[in-house]
Structure 1
Amino acid sequence: MIYLVEHFYSIQGEGRYSGSPSIFFRFGGCNMKCEGFNCQEIAPDGTKVLGCDTVYAVNKEHFSQNWVEIKSSKELLNILNIYDLPRSVDIVLTGGEPLIYANEKVFVEFLEALHKKGHRITFETNASLRVDFEKFPIYKKCIFALSVKLSNSNESFSKRVRGDIINSIASNAKEAFFKFSIDAESITLGLEEEISEIILHSPATQVYCMPLGGNKEEVETNTEPLIEFCKSKGYNFSDRLHIRIWDQNKGV
């Protein structure tokens, strides 16, 4: 069963293709909570829900009114007709964690149709869920932004860092790059060692670091220390344009 939380046409705000016009499909559900990010969302019933900056796509209990069940790939493809699009605009699949649906027939059919139409497809994933590249070769034609979670997520190491899966995705995908969410405090708390340990599983894969935050103020607070960190390590700094411009991470 597949759930779609939202879709919108904007620019990619993060990572290698930052600035590229993109249609985002945000799917509901995740195998992590990442409460350590301390982002709060107020549910319709007034409950304050703690988690990542897209907790509404993780917590179905309090945000179920936004979760739409998808029963066919045609339902997803029809969304493209809503927008006045340039030819072959980028498609970004995000969440939550979109790879929880990696083996679903409807999901695979959707990907195959997008590729046939000439779209560049990027997954934003925590890289902890296995992808069957042999059974579903469409995944070899996709790009993967590997947002492996750090200890600041408060998820256990064994759950968030799956070296064999990281290596498998990076080795089989059309393209892959690491993308880490980092706050200023974590830079002084062993962050360098954490990232080094993760990227050992795919040492040739480029690293992008972006400032943690669910709003413009938080992003700006974490930006300058992170830039200095990237300069010292030779990593790529990735801004979060959508938050810096629109001061939110939802539907922009």
Structure 2
Amino acid sequence: MIYLVEHFYSIQGEGKYIGTPSLFFRFGGCNMKCEGFGCEEVLEDGTTILGCDTIHAVNKQHFSNYWTQITKVDEILSILSSYKLPPHVDIVLTGGEPLIYANEPVFIEFLNALHVAGHRITFETNGSLHVDFLEYPVFKECIFALSVKLYNSGEPLSKRVRGEVLKSITSNAKETFFKFTIGASYINIDLEDEISSIVKYAPKTQIFCMPLGGSKKEVEANTEPLVEFCKLKGYNFSDRLHMRIWDKEKGV
């Protein structure tokens, strides 16, 4: 059983394949809360929920109306077939954290069906959960965007940085790259050291840095300082096009 929060056809807004037409499947549930990011959702009753910019895919308690239970692969494949898409369009699996379902039979069936159909599959993951590449070889055909969380996420180090998991994913997956979320206030003398302490587990993997923000205004405020940081350190800057174009609107 898996939970699907939303699906939409758009362009990839972040990372190495930015601008690429992609069909997104956002799954519900995560092993982290990342309240340190400070992104807020205000409910109809005035309650403020704190977390990441996709908190509706993390907090089932307050956003259960978004969550749809999937028990059979045909239920999600019918969603895929309902779109009129170019052949072999990119499929992006995001969340929440999609890899909490890495051992679920219906999820594995879905991945195999996507691979057989010729889709390029990208996981947007925090890189902290084990993937069994031997038991489920379809993962070897996937791309992993490793959004490993930094100290500013508010999550403990032992939870957000798991070296053996990063080594396994980068050694076995078809392609990987790091994608760090950084706010202007977090750009300090320790940031490069923190990033280095993470990427040492996969030293040949490309590094992308993208601005923190749950809205267009926040992303724009964090962009210029981050660009300067990337220029100084030689990292790749990743914009967040979906935020700039659609702001807080979901499902685009």
TM-score interval, smaller chain: over 0.9
Moved over 2 A (4+): 42-47
When normalised by structure 2's length, the TM-score is: 0.98
Structure 1 residue runs without a partner (length 5+): none
Mapped partners of 1:28, 1:43: distance in 2: 18
**Structure 1 residue 188: deviation in Å?**
1.5
Question: Which residue number corresponds to residue 48 of structure 2?
Answer: 48
Structure 2 residue runs without a partner (length 5+): none
Equivalent residue of 2:129, what SS? coil
Mapped partners of 2:230, 2:171: distance in 1: 25
Mapped partners of 1:42, 1:22: distance in 2: 29
How big is each residue's C-alpha offset from its partner over 1:77-116, in whole Å with a ceiling of 9 and x where there is no partner? Answer: 1111222111110000000000000000000000000001
* 8 Å CA contact retained: 1:215, 1:249: no
Matched AA of 1:173: A
**Structure 1 residue 250: deviation in Å?**
2.1
Identity between Structure 1 and Structure 2 (%): 70
Aligned Cα root-mean-square deviation (Å): 0.9
The 10-residue stretch of structure 1 (113-122 or 184-193) with the greater mean CA deviation from structure 2: 184-193
How big is each residue's C-alpha offset from its partner over 1:206-226, in whole Å with a ceiling of 9 and x where there is no partner? Answer: 000000001111001110110
Mapped partners of 2:189, 2:243: distance in 1: 25
* 8 Å CA contact retained: 1:181, 1:209: yes
* 8 Å CA contact retained: 1:208, 1:238: yes
Matched AA of 2:169: I
Distance 1:85-1:141 versus aligned 2 partners, 3 A rule: same
**Structure 1 residue 48: deviation in Å?**
1.3
How big is each residue's C-alpha offset from its partner over 1:6-58, in whole Å with a ceiling of 9 and x where there is no partner? Answer: 00000000000000000000000000000000001123544211000000000
Matched AA of 1:116: V
Mapped partners of 1:198, 1:249: distance in 2: 32
Mapped partners of 2:185, 2:45: distance in 1: 33
When normalised by structure 1's length, the TM-score is: 0.98
Distance 1:213-1:189 versus aligned 2 partners, 3 A rule: farther
Mapped partners of 2:46, 2:141: distance in 1: 42
Distance 1:81-1:177 versus aligned 2 partners, 3 A rule: same
Distance 1:65-1:189 versus aligned 2 partners, 3 A rule: farther
* 8 Å CA contact retained: 1:53, 1:249: no
